[in-house]
Structure 1
């Protein structure tokens, strides 16, 4: 299903144009809600109205509250996606399988409940999981056996239990893996590279050479004292464009953003197709 022609992103000539267009807010007004009403702490963003919308469930990194990703979630909602992020499993030793189970539950809730006083609904066939750090690993675990999943994105994927490599072997949907070149928490050579090489479906690995593991976060949190680096505006800007373009392509069949999937994008390095 394509996006409404009136709301489609403009044609772009190159990666620089594409980042400029898709890192900026989309055409939709955005509503914010609370996942707590269904028993899972977390946040929801959605376009003001729309039926049969694509849905994206986001998994946070170790110790992080979901609000540190609100900028990305709100941005995706402005481009027509319903987005939700559980904010539990934030302890020192979180259960990754339980986190994955909550991601699946969140997908089911979004697909099964009308939002926005009935003006918003989700097409469960157009669903994606996105995660950062250990959240990326939890998203891979959650994707196993998820027949209706359409795409997956990992950002600076970190190790989890079960092993992320074992989880990646069963992945057959299109997957984008974003790695940070200055990541000292989950170095690309030990995590994203291996995950991308292991997945069975169409796979893209794109590295941001100047990004750190925490560069994808927004705002401040006490965990910044124990993690290397901090939020990076340029990293978040490029990531907004990459994730939006990839999800528009694979959840909305939007081919006008292909340069962000397959092309040259300033500030990134696209690995040879795995």
Structure 2
């Protein structure tokens, strides 16, 4: 079965790279199309077996599963160009969070799903947030989940927690990378340690931390208890961090929720959805 990708920007190309690396699919079974043809050609130059569809019509006629990897604001323009070629057998899979499965059902006359990836999937790790429409059969869901499971851990989510789940899974790596970078900058500015050494040490620490949690040696609270000796250096550091952070993460989630709600409202108005 051939799989289509509409849009091969940052996330679309990342999915293709990862799926091919994991041997989840062969080059000859991937069909791509992109508004900017040069991006599609770049994918084909990297993977000669990949087909560039000459039109949306041909992509729809060739592929049963179609990954919709475009920005939410681009969906209204795309919708009328592809809907005439969709059948009950197609599964349109969006990777964007602001457009709900219910909205996708109103936009496309076929089976729909939403799979929100994370940059962590590039390492065949992390979670992918999943939800399906009622039009999808159990067989559809099982096949797509098996496909996605080759590069991530699929997690079913309800619509009311989509935003916060996406904050943690998709935005979280950027948030923690930002904090790690500031951590490095603090060490470099206040000690003789060089940036290269501080980066290597911090990267190694984060990888080791992930392995400890993944293997179940510690939970986050028990890890802190194990390292933080009363009256010791770690205890002083954590007390300071507690003062610095305060309600910072609560504020972060409030801000991202406000931004999400604002964008979603604009999309609802633009799509003229109920």
The TM-score normalised by the length of structure 1 is 0.34
Query: Higher helix share goes to which structure?
Result: 2
Computing the radius of gyration from Cα coordinates, the structure with the larger value is: 2
**Normalised by the size of structure 2, how large is the TM-score?**
0.34
